[in-house]
Amino acid sequence: MSLSVDLNADLGEVEASEWELIGLVSSANIACGFHAGNPTSMTASIVTARKAGVAVGAHPSLADRENFGRREWPVTSNEIFALVTYQVGAFQAIANSLGVRPNHVKPHGALYNMAARDPALAEAVAHALLAVDRSLILFAPGGSALAQAGETLGLRVAHEAFADRNYLSDGALVPRTRPDALLYDPEEVAARVLRMLQEQVVRSVEGIDVAIRADTICVHGDTPDAVAVAKKLRATLAAAGIEVVAPRA
């Protein structure tokens, strides 16, 4: 059986490496202005992705530029619905003005993690996609409240795994506050992703194999040597006969 996977990376966050990454991935998650970016950068990122033949999606966040959208705080489901609807709607309008059809939505940082755990917040995110464009694909961790909410409400969900993040034995990501949160070695990252795809497991930091589903795999542009990691990953996937292709709405 032939395998395929989507590789995604964040764009519009003013990382020097992100423009090199665009040629190595199949999907770009574009910052919508709340944790990074602005209308001008959104436009530039969409144009760059279009030239590279890369699918584009909105990357909405909590309204928290100071902490790059990575600090959790108390929010209601109504607030999340409004935040996500606003950002995805603005992204949709800019993309449409450029003749580009948005393909997906991937929540950013704290919003992603909170919605993955909290069914009420997850449902708010999913309802926001339904309100703007129900054909948009929701990127969400497999087995999470966010994935379940999207599937229950009839959205197409791409289950996401992370190439350069470590996992706990319950399937959650190791918090970024810990020194072992990130992986840096391109060889180790590539071997891990290959195992995710071929065996559907990932080795946790506790040394336990955890079941994982990976329809789309994230490579973070702000990780040191992100380009080297992505190049090694692409070469490894090609050698294994695994096609890199974006899911399509």
Would you say residue 106 lies in a domain?
Answer: yes
Strand segments, DSSP code E, in 81-156 are 104-105, 137-141
Q: What is the pLDDT of residue 147?
A: 98
Tens-digit pLDDT profile for residues 62-114: 999 999 999 999 999 999 999 999 999 999 999 999 999 999 999 999 999 99
Would you say residue 111 lies in a domain?
Answer: yes
Would you say residue 124 lies in a domain?
Answer: yes
Count of structural domains, the chain: 1
- Regarding pTM above 0.75, the answer is yes
- Give the dihedral of Cα atoms 94, 98, 104, 107; nearest 10 deg: -30
Would you say residue 249 lies in a domain?
Answer: no
As a whole number of angstroms, the distance between CA 8 and CA 40 comes to 21
Q: Check whether 2 has a pLDDT greater than 90.
A: no
166 contacts 132 by C-beta, under 8 angstroms: no
Q: What is the pLDDT of residue 19?
A: 78
Would you say residue 104 lies in a domain?
Answer: yes
CATH value at residue 9: 3.20.20.370
133 contacts 87 by C-beta, under 8 angstroms: no
Q: Check whether 223 has a pLDDT greater than 80.
A: no
Smallest Cα–Cα separation from 229: which of 172, 167, 163, 176?
163
Q: Check whether 22 has a pLDDT greater than 70.
A: yes
Q: What is the pLDDT of residue 81?
A: 98
Residue 237: which domain range? 4-244
Specify the 3-state DSSP secondary structure of 63: coil
104 contacts 156 by C-beta, under 8 angstroms: no
Query: If you average pLDDT over residues 236-240, what whole number do you get?
Result: 97
Query: If you average pLDDT over residues 5-34, what whole number do you get?
Result: 89
Would you say residue 31 lies in a domain?
Answer: yes
Token couple for 83 = 């935040």
Provide the residue count of the chain.
249
Would you say residue 66 lies in a domain?
Answer: yes
Q: In whole angstroms, what separates CA 189 from the centre of its chain?
A: 17
Confidence of residue 50 (pLDDT cuts 50, 70, 90): very high
Confidence of residue 164 (pLDDT cuts 50, 70, 90): very high
As a whole number of angstroms, the distance between CA 232 and CA 20 comes to 14
